[in-house]
Amino acid sequence: MKQTKKAQKPKRYYTRTIDLFFLLIFLIISIISFTIAFSFGILPHTWVFMGAVVIFLIFIGLFLVSLRKMPKWFILVKRAFIIVLCVIIGGSGYFLNKSRMTINRMNQNAQSSITKLHILTAKNSNISSIKDLANKTIGFQNGVDKKNAAYAQKQLRSSIANMQVKEELDYTTLLSDLSLNEVQAIVMSDVYYGMSKSNMKDFEKQVTILDTIEKPKESSQKEEKDITEQPFTIYLSGLDNMGSPDQQTRTDTNLILIVNPKANHIDMVSLPRDGFIPNTALQNANDKLTHTGLYGVDASVETIEQFFNIPIDYYARVSFNSLIEIVDTIGGIDVDVEINFCEQDENRSFKKEDLICLKKGKQHLNGKQALAYSRHRKTEGYDNAGRERAQQRIIKAIINKLISPSAITYINKLLDIAPNYVITNMPTSQITSFVSNELEDLKPWTISSISSDNGVYDNQYTASLSSEYGKSDVYLFAKNEVHAVVNAYDGASQPLDMSNYHFDVSNLYQDTPAINEDPHIVWDTMADNPH
């Protein structure tokens, strides 16, 4: 009998050791996961604290039970319970950490954008390297691209001996100087290099890129807001081509989100890509809004800020393939398609077999179909106003899908792809504080739409295109459209005080400085004075 008891003691000791090992793993995983949760800050701290207290009490209970002799079945159930807890808590910590890394990468991608500056020489010249430019004349632009040109000059002076400089107002003149050998090389930013390729026949056959200088993006620090309490704006920019969203290229989609966290309301403002607007990158010369993207997202932001006289606090950018990948990752979206139409595919193919055709009515759209619907504007009677409505419907559908219970099935993959297809300058700390506040509040949100459909289309010269290309079809804003945006922002930032409320029927736009004072703006006067 004594031998049996002695044999049982090692067995009980062995069982207890295994139980304590399980508990140790459970404790380590819990500490790591809750540390991530506290440091990330995207979950309300009260939630995290209460969760930590509950897990600690469970740990103490399991620890005390492990010290007692229990039936074999109970021990097995206890261990299975610990394993389940480890999977749930560890998985939560994993996704929280992955979310933090994803947001950081999206933000870093926006902050690390660069401008490429090419040193070009004539294809038929005997210059093959930077060293061959010693004692030679190099042309630089001193007009709209003078900041980039000045940076390039500074970099080249240290590597080219006795460099001579010739400055011209525009790149057209510089290219002419290069062809006449008045300069032996010119410096051209990548944006204008791309535009030259598109607009000039055989351009790449006439020039050679000797070298490329990379200029870091100039950071424009703005005062940080408490976006859990203060209204803020986000500029959503959709690029008109495939590839990375950090490109300097035309913007096909332009939306302003005016977010009011106190009222749980968003005003979604659609701006026509062809809106005729003073381009700040071109000394306020009138241009299409889509062309401002050629000078970088900051140029688009500054132009919109000036035109509407409201601040743009943050931006987010996506490209064609961004929308395709995001929609496909979340399993498609349900959208009420407004019309029957056919549109070219993401590669802009006009081949019949490549066209994407949709029927009017409620549809479940994949990524390519969503892109086609967001871009279509050629159907008579539908045009840009219809496209703006389509874009708003698509964004609302994506938001609804992301906040639905089904999001748990694709959140991991979405976190994987997001940094490649979305960039934003909204700091991680701002995103986490906003989400945390909303999770704690749990109030429903409302979304209103503001579209630009009161103006008219007209033929005007645009600053980004040389006058030799003739006039372009542009959208002239109506004053009441701009006033509606200003009112939406003012309503979010300054709750209406009826005791001070007044308006002048004879001048509804008196409180909108951009409308009254900017001499560069060309308005749709017919919409303001209908007859």
User: What pLDDT, in 10s, does the model give residues 274-293?
Assistant: 899 999 888 888 999 988 88
Q: 475 forms bridges with which residues in the sheet?
A: 275, 457
Hey, CA dihedral for 206, 211, 215, 216, is it positive or negative?
positive
Ranges in the chain annotated CATH 3.40.630.190:
232-528
Q: What is the pLDDT of residues 426-451, one digit of tens each?
A: 888 888 888 888 888 778 888 888 87
Residue 344 DSSP class:
-
Ranges in the chain annotated CATH 3.40.190.10:
114-216
Q: Identify the residue with better confidence: 496 or 326.
A: 326
Q: What letters, b where the CB count within 10 A reaches 16 and e where it falls short, cover 283-292?
A: ebebbbbbbb
Architecture of domain 114-216: 3-Layer(aba) Sandwich (3.40)
Q: Nearest CA to 206 among 178, 167, 234, 244?
A: 178
Q: What DSSP string runs through 192-258?
A: HHHHHHHHSTTHHHHEEEEEEEEEEPPP---PPP-TTTS-EEEEEEEESSSS-TT----EEEEEEEE
CB 273 within 8 A of CB 254: yes
Rounded Cα gap, residues 306 and 302, in angstroms: 6
Rounded Cα gap, residues 345 and 372, in angstroms: 7
Look at residue 456 and tell me whether its pLDDT is greater than 50.
yes
Terminal alpha carbon distance of the chain: 112
CB 231 within 8 A of CB 261: yes
The pLDDT mean for the chain works out to 83
Place of tokens 């390039």: 152
Rounded Cα gap, residues 111 and 105, in angstroms: 10
Rounded Cα gap, residues 104 and 350, in angstroms: 39
The reported pTM is 0.75
Q: What is the pLDDT of residues 379-397, one digit of tens each?
A: 776 767 788 888 888 888 8
| Tokens linked to 139 | 């042309």
HSE-CB for 286 with a 13 A CA cutoff? 21
| Tokens linked to 218 | 């100039």
Q: Given this model, what pLDDT does residue 186 score?
A: 93
Q: Given this model, what pLDDT does residue 80 score?
A: 93
CB 239 within 8 A of CB 245: yes
In percent, how much of the chain has pLDDT > 90? Answer: 26
Q: Given this model, what pLDDT does residue 84 score?
A: 95
| DSSP H helices in 337-477 | 367-375, 383-402, 411-421, 428-441
Q: Given this model, what pLDDT does residue 1 score?
A: 47
Q: Given this model, what pLDDT does residue 32 score?
A: 94
Rounded Cα gap, residues 169 and 144, in angstroms: 8
CB 368 within 8 A of CB 356: yes
CB 13 within 8 A of CB 66: no
Homologous superfamily assigned to 232-528:
LCP protein (3.40.630.190)
Q: What is the pLDDT of residues 466-502, one digit of tens each?
A: 665 668 888 898 888 888 888 888 888 876 565 665 6
